[in-house]
A = this chain, B = another copy of it.
Amino acid sequence: MSENIKKRPIYIKIKDEDNVAITVDKVLEGSQVMEGITAKQDIPQGHKIALCDIPAGGNIIRYGVTLGYAINDIRQGDWINEDMLSLPTPPSVDNMKWGVDIRTDLPKPERTTWEGYRNADGFAGTRNLLGIVTTVQCVAGVLNAAVKRIKDELLPQYPNVDGVVSVTHAYGCGVAINAPEAKVPIRQIANMCKHPNFGGELMVVGLGCEKLTPDRITDRLGSDTVLILQDYKGFGAQVEAIMALAETKLKRLNQRKRETLPLSDLMIGMQCGGSDAFSGITANSAAGYASDLLVSGGATVLFSEVTEVRDGVYLLGERTVDEPTCRKLAEEMKWYDNYLELGGADRSANPTPGNKKGGLSNIVEKAMGSIAKSGTSPIVEVLSPGERPSKKGLIYAATPASDIVCGPCQLASGITLQVFMTGRGTPYGLEAAPVVKVSSRTDLKEMWPDLIDIDAGTIATGNATIPEVGTQLFHFILDVASGKKESWAEHWKLYNDMCFFNPAPIT
């Protein structure tokens, strides 16, 4: 980070060896950016300026890392956009080093407890929800009608229950359920049955002729859990049966109370979406600091998004605590490389047009920023998409980078709150767990005051430090987890669909 933090800087240069910097605000052609360097064109906010001449083929360096190679000669002061550099080959995941970057002096949190709903086993809940998991999309219409009535007619009678979540999805039938990768969506749906925010009072609604039979997702197959629509005499009877079963669950859920719990009972997820060139140095860095505080206090933090760590994966490998964890990290990367290749794509399919508008030239630059949200803690475990952890601490949960798929994957792993960093801005939310939104730029917080919870843009403008915003975020996470505050996405009930990851074919 440049020296001139605490007064509004013009540019941000991250490492000494960088030959580019990003602009804090839009810079006009001819204006001086730093001593001896004048912008040769108008440069949009957050975009890169060349700090020296870079010949064609030369390395373009930010974060101390080669983002790519200059396609043509670049002059000092030039705006470097995404068309001016070529993508380097991705780093090999074979023979990554492990355990060589294990930090032991993590910052200590001021708070070590929170208020949650204790579960018989595993992590505690941040909300007290009636969860209804479906085996197949066919039931969605009937279930939606029933859930509307449950919310309108029953829920008001059970004030200690926070909501009703129907986990409807596109899977369940018309799928190649014995294909090798079918385990991925099935694992996610099965693990949603165990979600900590559902308090053990599970309902499963199936149709009766689908491929995803209830026994594939739960071993609780009694009539106090599973309801099959084909067993009931038509729509009216189906809705009544769902409501009757829901009421028995609501009665039990209504008796649950929050308790003071150690941070080790909390598991949250980190994700970013609509990123820009500030994301890595503001929002994701603050999230990384909050993550360090949480992990240091005993909590479990998941971070994800394979294509967005792929180009810096060796940095994560060095932080894994043992060889098997490092090897699983490599395996998840290879699996995704192969998955993309089979589909005729590669990691260059990420980033998005919005990322590019925000100054992110390619996936290397996006990855370096994305990894920042993991903070500096050791990585104790690596999960396949939707797997539940067996350890506590910082965990890499492999998922697609797609926001709307990463969310359901992390939910399946059991997160009970998600922190979402955004540069361009997205109203994304989840019904099964509150989502806290952090902006990378103050402009976005000002544009979306009723959607962004925490502004990390103050880090770029010199008004706050990474530890300050990180600590603010840490407290906000615990307040939302404890039910003392609600995030904007939760307040407005902004819920995205449960777009589970299905890499297997449909039939």
Contacts and interface: CB of A to CB of B under 8 A. Distances in A.
A424 interface: yes
A145 B493 contact: yes
A291 to B, nearest CB: 22
Given A233-B447, A339-B505, A497 B497 contact: yes
Contacts of A178: 345, 349
A402 B175 contact: yes
A270 to B, nearest CB: 16
Contact of A404 (B137, B144, B274, B401): B137
20 contacts: A137-B404, A138-B404, A138-B426, A141-B489, A141-B493, A145-B494, A170-B497, A170-B499, A174-B400, A209-B353, A234-B447, A234-B448, A234-B450, A235-B450, A235-B451, A307-B507, A339-B505, A343-B503, A349-B505, A402-B506
B345 A176 contact: yes
A427 interface: yes
A488 to B, nearest CB: 7
A347 B179 CA distance: 11
Interface of A: 137-142, 144-145, 168, 170, 173-181, 207-211, 213, 229-230, 233-236, 238, 273-274, 307, 339-340, 342-345, 347, 349-350, 352-355, 357-358, 400-406, 424-429, 447-451, 488-489, 492-497, 499, 501, 503-507
A184 to B, nearest CB: 12
Nearest to A350: B507
Nearest to A229: B427
Decide if the interface of chain A is mainly helix, strand, loop or mixed: loop
Nearest to A341: B505
Contacts of A307: 507
B209 A340 contact: no
